[in-house]
């Protein structure tokens, strides 16, 4: 007799270009998981607020604008896409302007609060669509969003190697500055949560990183 495997939650955190998205996508494929890239959510909100001319320094206008943002989810393959007012994010969320501003918006507690319930709600989305679980990546997934996740990984990589990875993707990205802002903010800073499995990917290929994670998941 076979038993139905229980729903699993995998949290992956780490600095910019540490390999979160690439590893999450492979794990999602291998274990039939919903892939949730929370960085793309912060990027989409940043893009929308910039489009509306709402600056992170104007808290009153920002709080009002947040109440006007209506979040829904659309699946793109195995990935959960945040729709704002029914609209998907466009390619500009990966552009230089959003790279420069996103950490400033992400440091604001009201912005994080707006996303908190939405992120946890992805469990129901995954269940409704028949996934075996979800893999969620970001900065505070193992520390704040799902502290009791079945697996919590924290990816490290040397900052020079990470900058090279982004450059190879043809991107202008202020990785060091974003890491500094993300690690030093008061609200849900980037930290390796106690008990998380830390993996240094500086000298590892993507396949080697995924192999380490998958071995732990398969064992249980
Ligand atoms: O892809 P990369 O690692 O460079 O960044 P990302 O995951 O797309 O996240 C963009 C930005 O969103 C980060 O620099 C953080 O400021 C913010 N973020 C956050 O504060 N908390 C999360 N859970 C995910 C992203
Ligand atoms: O999501 P995050 O910003 O943490 O990183 P990513 O977008 O998954 O990875 C950034 C780049 O580094 C991608 O082009 C990956 O293929 C590459 N990478 C790598 O060369 N070696 C690794 N061990 C992990 C990622």
Residue 2 falls inside a structural domain: no
Q: What single string gives the DSSP state of each residue in the chain?
A: -PPPPPPEEEEEEESTTSSHHHHHHHHHHHHTEEEEEHHHHHHHHHHHHHHTT--TT-HHHHHHHHHH--EEEEEETTEEEEEETTB---GGGGSHHHHHHHHHHHT-HHHHHHHHHHHHTHHHHHHHTT-SEEEEEESSIIIII-TT-SEEEEEE--HHHHHHHHHHTT----HHHHHHHHHH-SSS-----TT-EEEE-TT--HHHHHHHHHHHHHH-
* Residue with the two structure tokens 């240094």: 200
- Domain count across the chain: 1
Q: What is the CATH number of the domain that holds 26?
A: 3.40.50.300
Average pLDDT rounded to a whole number, residues 92-119: 96
Residue 50 falls inside a structural domain: yes
The string of pLDDT tens digits covering residues 183-200 is 999 999 999 999 999 999
What residues make up the domain containing 154?
8-218
Residue 1 falls inside a structural domain: no
* DSSP bridge partners of 152: 11
Residue 172 phi, psi dihedral angles, 5° rounding: -90, 115
Residue 121 falls inside a structural domain: yes
Tell me which of 23, 99, 157, 165 to substitute to probe ligand 2's pocket, judged by most ligand atoms within 8 Å of the beta carbon: 165
CA of 2 to the centre of ligand 1 (A): 40
> Counting atoms of ligand 1 from 1, which one is nearest the CA of 137?
23
Residue 168 falls inside a structural domain: yes
SS3 annotation, 184-220:
HCCCCCCCCCCCCEEEECCCCCHHHHHHHHHHHHHHC
Q: Is 175 close to ligand 2, i.e. is its CB under 6 Å away?
A: no
CA of 205 to the centre of ligand 2 (A): 9
The string of pLDDT tens digits covering residues 20-32 is 999 999 999 999 9
* Residue with the two structure tokens 């829904």: 72
Query: Residue 144 has which token pair?
Result: 């704040």
pLDDT higher than threshold 70 for residue 2: no
Ligand 1 neighbours, Cβ below 6 Å, are 16-17, 20, 38-40, 42-43, 102-103, 106, 138-141, 178, 182
Number of residues assigned to the chain: 220
pLDDT confidence bin for 4, thresholds 50/70/90: low
> Counting atoms of ligand 2 from 1, which one is nearest the CA of 15?
4
The mean pLDDT of the chain is 95
pTM for this model (two decimals): 0.96
pLDDT higher than threshold 90 for residue 44: yes
Residue 44 falls inside a structural domain: yes
CA-nearest residue for atom 15, ligand 1, is 103
Residue 3 falls inside a structural domain: no
Residue 15 falls inside a structural domain: yes
pLDDT higher than threshold 60 for residue 164: yes
């Amino acid at each position: 007799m076979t038993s139905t495997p229980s729903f699993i939650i995998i949290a992956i955190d780490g600095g910019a270009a540490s390999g979160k998205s690439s590893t999450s996508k492979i794990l999602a494929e291998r274990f039939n998981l919903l892939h949730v890239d929370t960085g793309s959510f912060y990027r989409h909100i940043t893009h929308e607020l910039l489009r509306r001319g709402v600056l992170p320094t104007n808290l009153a206008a920002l709080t009002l604008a947040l109440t006007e943002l209506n979040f829904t989810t659309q699946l793109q393959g195995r990935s959960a896409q945040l729709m704002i007012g029914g609209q998907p994010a466009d390619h500009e969320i990966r552009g230089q302007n959003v790279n420069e501003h996103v950490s400033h918006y992400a440091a604001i507690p009201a912005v994080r609060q707006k996303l908190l319930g939405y992120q946890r709600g992805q469990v129901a989305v995954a269940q409704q669509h028949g996934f075996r679980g979800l893999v969620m990546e970001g900065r505070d997934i193992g520390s704040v969003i799902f502290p009791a996740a079945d697996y919590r990984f924290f990816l490290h990589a040397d900052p020079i190697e990470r900058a090279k990875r982004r450059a190879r993707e043809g991107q202008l990205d202020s990785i060091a500055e974003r890491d500094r802002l993300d690690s030093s903010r008061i609200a849900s800073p980037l930290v390796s949560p106690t008990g998380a499995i830390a993996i240094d990917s500086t000298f590892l290929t993507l396949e080697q990183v995924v192999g380490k994670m998958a071995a732990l998941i398969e064992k249980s």
